[in-house]
Amino acid sequence: MTLAEQVFHQLRRDIVSGKLKPMQPLRLDHLKKLYGVGFSPLREALNRLQSERLVQSVALRGFTVAPASQREMWDAIETRILIETRALRLSIALGDDDWESRLVGSLHALTLQHKRMADNNAAASADEDEALEARHQEFHATLISACGSERLIDFAQKLYIQTERYRYSGLHQRLPVGDRDVRAEHGALLSAAIDRDADRAAALLKRHYRLTGEMLDRTFDPSLGEKKAMSS
């Protein structure tokens, strides 16, 4: 991995986690000291993050962390639904036995991590949270991995990161989920995909993402940005 790739991943992690706040200036001199790299890899990383809508360039001010709002969150969620339901339909049509096996395995790994954390009476550590998030991401990535389109997969990955920025705050606040059973939602998604029921799977995925959006919308963290009404 090049220096530019390393600092790209570090910066992206710090933006998603909220360590770097929305609209915070990203001054090169400060970043050079913070991440221990030169100006060239920093500029390359910042330009990549700008293409992912996590960083923006402001005339005469350089780079800043992209703003965040409920409107931006819902735009990312709804766009993600459009992209991933299409990719999921293609995966169901094109996926082979290997895809099914990987899908079953990814949900099993996610379930094991949920159980491990539930069995631990103490508060979850940062490492446990990161392990859960990694397995969650792997399950959703595997769902669409057989779609046959690198562009759909790449776009879905970028949208995942954009929505994770909002989900991360909810994860670490331990937001109440009410009577929602997220593990059952994942299980239903798996069953629909294995049954090759594209309509049911797409409807379940859409509902899954919107329920998360509604939960985050109710408890939006003001530190992420100005509270705005959800677009219709």
Amino acid 232: pLDDT: 23
Q: Is the pLDDT of residue 177 over 70?
A: no
Amino acid 169: pLDDT: 66
Question: Which has more confidence, 226 or 225?
Answer: 225
Mean of the per-residue pLDDT values of the chain: 88
Amino acid 146: pLDDT: 98
* Cα–Cα distance, 192 to 187 (Å, whole number): 9
Tell me if 54 sits within 8 A of 123, measured CB to CB: no
Domains and CATH numbers, the chain: 3-65 (1.10.10.10), 70-224 (1.20.120.530)
Q: Is the pLDDT of residue 219 over 90?
A: no
* Cα–Cα distance, 146 to 87 (Å, whole number): 8
Range in 73-82, 143-152, 178-187 the model is least confident about: 178-187
Q: pLDDT tens, 22-43?
A: 999 999 999 999 999 999 999 9
Question: Which has more confidence, 230 or 199?
Answer: 199
Tell me if 66 sits within 8 A of 53, measured CB to CB: yes
> pTM of the predicted model, to two decimals?
0.85
* Cα–Cα distance, 64 to 129 (Å, whole number): 27
Tell me if 52 sits within 8 A of 12, measured CB to CB: yes
Confidence of residue 230 (pLDDT cuts 50, 70, 90): very low
Q: pLDDT tens, 136-147?
A: 999 999 999 999
Q: What is the mean pLDDT of residues 164-169?
A: 82
